[in-house]
Chains A and B, each alone.
Chain A
């Protein structure tokens, strides 16, 4: 006879409580703010979808969103091929493997605000090593505090420096899992290096690359600390990404309602793009 044991619910309870406190309750608070107006003192006025309508008709939001997509797009276009290229050129065996892996992992171990501060100091034109070198030795006019293009080059370079390693490590893991027989068979079949990459390495790396791209998309789309410390969103608003704009609204202008509405839209975009991407990448595996 099968006995129904309800005790299992008891064991799930801690997780439910945890999820409630770290996700559900804060999220519902945001939902609460997004449909009301508040002037502090716990006084709330119902506003309905006003904040959403306001936001979606506002140029400022679309500009920030555009910058955000540009940032994420650029870093993906650079980091993914670069990461694959580095992973391909790393040794597969021998004493250099751990050395390479540790070197690769180092940038990822540095706290995000430290990365921002490092690159800020590094690139300042008067005191930074790189900034000084570019301006005074190579004679290139480079000042990320004044010039939007220089600012963009700097935040992209910083992100590439910080996160390409993630793509490298995942791609490398995919590469080392390919059995030798594949390379041997390809040699016997007379395959060129490009064919080996196109028909063996790339397909075998596909699952890990999907995860890598997904992680890099979500992380870069939500990036805040590094560009905030590095450029503070400037010069002007040229590097004001979505998250920076959001914080300006919520904490700078204290527009809690519009900020909450923006958070929800921001969240929905991240979720939608991630879901679309993942579904498209894995649809072949299902059948």
Chain B
């Protein structure tokens, strides 16, 4: 187990990158603490798999260094880094039994058969694979195959980090939930550093203690699931996390006050610096309420999501969603919207530009 440090990491798939857009990863500086459960969240093509492959050693970065416990491993091949990786599609060795599959990484490293047996039995127990140890791995269902791939990662006791590259893609929905809680349980038992790559916010938020949100090869925000939800550092995070995502409205800024369609919107706190660029207001649908006064809007769509109703409104051409309890108004109704002040923020060129309200207690 080890702490992993990524220092000034840049990667391009082109031989001579010049433009910033040539880079799949732009300037990454990150520390992964020993024993943490991390998620790497971002849309397809944001560079998260590239980052993962650099940590595992399948890719050598164009620039920068990777340190495991302050030891530079940038040039080391995957088998010398003591890492484990679980891929999107289950990788199993078809001709071997489940037991031999799990024993494979240990046997390749020349461990004696008694150690192999102890480890394999223990891991099989943990993953509930014990009854299948003697069967051929080829005929198993995808979720069991994926468990074997995980098992091959976990079977080495000295593994520095276990990485999961969208491991639940091919798993049936009802088994996804089971496997996800299994993973969480494994993390608590094994205490190895785990990095979980996904584009699914539910998977990321339920698995990880710390979520790293990436976009276009850059880290946009690192935080706990609550932090990401409550105070997105970038409109992208606001959009990407939450369902529906954060409302982002164009606004004008005059004398430190924000105006949307000439309607003054109260912000959570003072604006930082002198904003220069595109200004927007961000507020989550959870903090928008329908009231008798406020911003006038027309209801354009109402969808029932169980205990709540998502009311989509149109205010001067901008779409604003609100989540309300119980049944919402009719489509076409004229309503007034109120934004909860301590959850309304200003974004300049996408980045947050208001100070958080002073803690009141």
Spell out A's residues near B (CB within 8 Å): 179, 181-182, 184-185, 187-192, 195, 199-200, 203-204, 287
A168 to B255, CA, bound (A): 75
Cβ–Cβ contact B56 & A188, under 8 A: yes
B58 proximity list for chain A (CB < 8 A): 184, 187
Residue from A181, A190, A195 within 8 A of B91 (CB atoms): A181
Closest to B93 in A: A199
Complex interface: chain A residues within 8 A of B96 (CB) = 199
Contact B79 A190, beta carbon cutoff 8 Å: yes
Choose among B77, B88, B139, B152 the residue that contacts A189 (Cβ–Cβ < 8 A).
B152
Given contacts A199-B96, A203-B95, contact A188 B104 (CB under 8 A): no
> Is B83 an interface residue when CB atoms closer than 8 A count as contact?
yes
Which B residues are CB-close (under 8 A) to A182?
91
Please indicate the chain B residues that have their CB under 8 angstroms from the CB of A188 in the complex.
56, 78-79, 83-85, 105, 153
A181: chain B residues at CB < 8 Å are: 87-89, 91
CA distance A190 to B95 in the complex (A): 18
Query: At the interface, is chain A mostly helix, strand, loop or mixed?
Result: helix
Is the pair B83, A190 in contact by a Cβ cutoff of 8 Å? no
Whether A199 pairs with B95 at a CB distance below 8 angstroms is yes
Contacts of B91 in A (CB 8 A): 179, 181-182, 185
Which of A192, A200, A203 has a CB less than 8 Å from the CB of B108? A192
Main secondary structure of the interface of B (DSSP, over half): mixed
Alpha-carbon separation in the docked complex, A184 to B78 (Å) = 9
Give A200 to B53 CA distance when docked, in angstroms. Answer: 21
Contact call B78/A195, Cβ cutoff below 8 A = no
Size class of the contact patch on chain B: 20 to 34
Kindly state the separation between the CA atoms of A191 and B53 in the bound complex, as whole angstroms: 18
For the complex, what is the distance from the CA of A204 to the CA of B153, rounded to whole Å? 22
A188–B152 Cα distance when bound, in Å, is 10
B52-109, CB < 8 A from A: 53, 56, 58, 77-79, 83-85, 87-89, 91, 93-96, 104-105, 108-109
Q: Is the C-beta of B247 less than 8 angstroms from some C-beta in chain A?
A: no
Give A93 Cβ to nearest chain B Cβ, in Å: 13
Instruction: Assess A184 versus B87: contact at CB under 8 Å? Given A189-B152, A190-B79.
Output: yes
B39-61: contact bitstring with A at CB < 8 Å (1 yes, 0 no)?
Answer: 00000000000000100101000
Instruction: Check if B78 sits within 8 Å of A187, measured CB to CB.
Output: yes
Q: Which of B93, B104, B109, B139 counts the most chain A CB atoms within 10 A?
A: B93
Give me 6 other A-B pairs in contact (C-beta within 8 A), A184-B85, A187-B77, A189-B152 excluded. A179-B91, A184-B53, A188-B78, A188-B83, A199-B95, A199-B104
Nearest A residue to B159 via CB reads A188
- Given A200-B93, A203-B95, residue A190 in contact with residue B87 (CB < 8 A): no
Cβ-defined contact, A179 with B105, below 8 A: no
Q: Which residues of A contact B79 (CB under 8 A)?
A: 187-190
With the chains together, A184 CA to B88 CA distance in Å? 12
Partner-A contacts on B (CB < 8 A): 53, 56, 58, 77-79, 83-85, 87-89, 91, 93-96, 104-105, 108-109, 139, 149, 152-153
| C-alpha spacing A195/B152, complex, angstroms | 16
- Chain B residues with CB under 8 Å of A195's CB are 108
CA distance A184 to B105 in the complex (A): 13
In the complex, chain A residues whose CB is within 8 Å of the CB of B153: 188
Q: Give CA–CA (A164, B88) in the complex, Å.
A: 36
Q: How far does the alpha carbon of A282 sit from the alpha carbon of B307 in the complex, in Å? A: 54
Q: Which residue of chain A has its CB nearest to the CB of B152?
A: A189
Residues of A within 8 A of B109 (CB): 190
Contacts A181-B88, A185-B87 known; A190 to B105 CB distance under 8 Å? Answer: yes
**CB-CB < 8 A to B78: which residues of A?**
184, 187-188
B residues within 8 A CB of A179?
89, 91
Chain A nearest CB from B109 CB (Å) reads 6
Task: Report the Cα distance A195→B104, complex, angstroms.
Answer: 10
Contact residue among A190, A203, A287 (Cβ-Cβ distance under 8 Å from B94): A203
Chain A residues contacting B87 (CB-CB under 8 Å) are 181, 184-185
Residue of B nearest to A199 (CB): B93
Give the docked Cα–Cα distance between A35 and B84 (Å): 70
Chain B nearest CB, measured from A124 CB (Å): 48
Q: Which of A184, A187, A195 has the most CB of B within 10 A?
A: A184
- Shortest beta-carbon distance, A204 to chain B, in Å? 8
Closest 10 CB pairs of A and B: A190-B108, A181-B87, A185-B91, A190-B79, A189-B105, A199-B93, A187-B78, A203-B94, A188-B78, A203-B95
A184, A188, A192, A200 interface centre (most CB from chain B within 10 Å): A188
How far apart sit A184 and B165, CA to CA, in the bound complex (Å)?
12
B95 and A189 contacting across the interface, CB-CB below 8 Å: no
Instruction: Give the residues in chain A near B89, CB-CB below 8 Å.
Output: 179, 181
- Considering only CB atoms, which chain B residue lies closest to A204 in the complex? B94
12 A–B contacts, CB within 8 A, in A order: A181-B89, A184-B85, A187-B78, A188-B56, A188-B78, A188-B83, A188-B105, A189-B104, A189-B152, A199-B93, A199-B96, A203-B93
Q: How far is the CA of A190 from the CA of B107 in the complex (A)?
A: 9
Whether the Cβ atoms of A185 and B108 lie closer than 8 Å is no
Inside 8 A of A187's CB, which chain B residues have their CB? Answer: 58, 77-79
Q: How far is the CB of B233 from chain A (nearest CB, A)?
A: 33
How far is B95's CA from A200's CA once the two chains are assembled, in angstroms? 9
| Interchain nearest-CB distance for A284 vs B (Å) | 8
Q: Is the CB of A191 within 8 A of B104?
A: yes
Closest to A187 in B: B78
**Contact call A185/B94, Cβ cutoff below 8 A:** no
Q: B104 contacts which chain A residues (CB < 8 A)? A: 189, 191, 199
